[in-house]
Amino acid sequence: MNNLRTFIKKNASDNYKLSIAYKDDCNLYKYVFDDYILLFKEINEEIISMNYNKKTYTDFNEIQLILFDLFNYKNIEYIDIYLQSKKNIIIEDIYNDYYDDINKEFICIRSIIKDEQIIKFKIIVYINNDFNNNDFKLYYKHETIIGFDSIIKKIDELL
């Protein structure tokens, strides 16, 4: 839960009110924003669920993706969590990344096994001065997909 609290604090710019209820069987963290409420249930410092828009989410990857969307957090971490949320695939080398200092680009190679086929692609993140406004390119076979949303769409097509 500490990681998510830090993430919210860092990305929400203090535009929320937080209340915490300590119960015998769990802790409840309620974040009230102008447009929505996030309610986390925690047991032994582990998130059990998140309520958002009258729905309860229990899958940690799904919770992370919702938070990433709410705070417009578009980076390689989002793409990796998005890949991990896909069913019936195996990600072989999720941390095959390196940074090219000369070209100021972060290069990520991903190998995914789906239905006994290997899907390989390379994502390059071009680092801008504004970390939240980077440029993304996906290279898959002879295709180049430009832009974060287009990459997510292509991953959906592939998987």
Looking at residue 13, its pLDDT comes to 82
User: Tens of pLDDT along the chain (159 residues)?
Assistant: 788 989 999 999 878 999 999 999 999 999 999 999 999 999 988 889 999 999 999 999 999 999 999 999 999 999 999 999 998 899 988 888 999 989 889 999 999 999 999 999 999 998 776 656 689 999 999 999 999 999 999 999 998
Looking at residue 44, its pLDDT comes to 87
Judging by DSSP bridges, how do beta strands 55-57 and 46-52 pair with one another? antiparallel
Looking at residue 40, its pLDDT comes to 96
Looking at residue 50, its pLDDT comes to 97
**CA gap 95, 113 in Å, rounded:** 15
Helix/strand/coil for 128: coil
DSSP per-residue codes, 98-110: EEETTTTEEEEEE
Looking at residue 120, its pLDDT comes to 94
Are the beta carbons of 138 and 145 closer than 8 angstroms?
yes
Q: At what angle do helices 60-70 and 2-11 cross, to 10 degrees?
A: 10
